[in-house]
Amino acid sequence: MGGVGKVCGDCHLIYQVKVQQKYHWKSFDDIKVTDPISKNELKWADYMWTMEGSFAGALTDLQEGQLDKANQNYQAFSVQFKALPNGCYQCHTTPRNYFVDSESIALVDQLGSALSATPPDAAAIGSLSGAIGNEICLKCHLVHLQAQSAKDTWEANADLLK
């Protein structure tokens, strides 16, 4: 059995990840999400950039003393974040509730409360925005960005990788 196992293992070592990503991972280009702000249907990457723009916009506006604009950008980010499962569930047929769960939503809501305080507490906002980035965004990106990047590379270089 050792010889047979070695044949299987050698092939799996080379091809298993590629096969899983090709046949079991949907391409992010196929995922479409309706932006609750613009009402436009966006590709996943465009939706993520739009949401990131709202998040960063809130923080930038706050630094510039534009509190009304900061709160408007936060409101957009909050609504966009809460619509994320509409994209997630296009691949995750068994709902994955972590990172878009009630704890994550509570963290986003805490940021809104900190932004609307008079005056806004910069330290709390910095801490909360860092937590959102590290505890929500980063943890999804650690799994999905590399997989999609590898898949894109394999597709772009299909002739070379036969």
Going by C-alpha positions, the residue among 14, 46, 15 that lies closest to residue 28 is: 46
> 3-state DSSP call for residue 158?
coil
- Strand partners for 33: 42
This prediction has a pTM of 0.84
The two structure tokens encoding residue 141: 């990106």
60 vs 129: CA distance, rounded Å? 12
Per-residue confidence (pLDDT) for residue 10, from 0 to 100: 84
Residues comprising the chain, all counted = 162
| Distance, CA of 48 to CA of 44 (rounded, Å) | 6
Kindly list the domain boundaries of the chain, sorted by start residue.
28-156
Per-residue pLDDT of the chain (162 residues; tens, 9 = 90+): 788 888 888 888 888 877 887 787 788 889 999 999 999 999 999 999 999 999 999 999 999 999 999 999 999 999 999 999 888 888 887 776 778 888 999 999 999 999 999 999 989 999 999 999 999 999 889 988 888 888 888 788 878 766
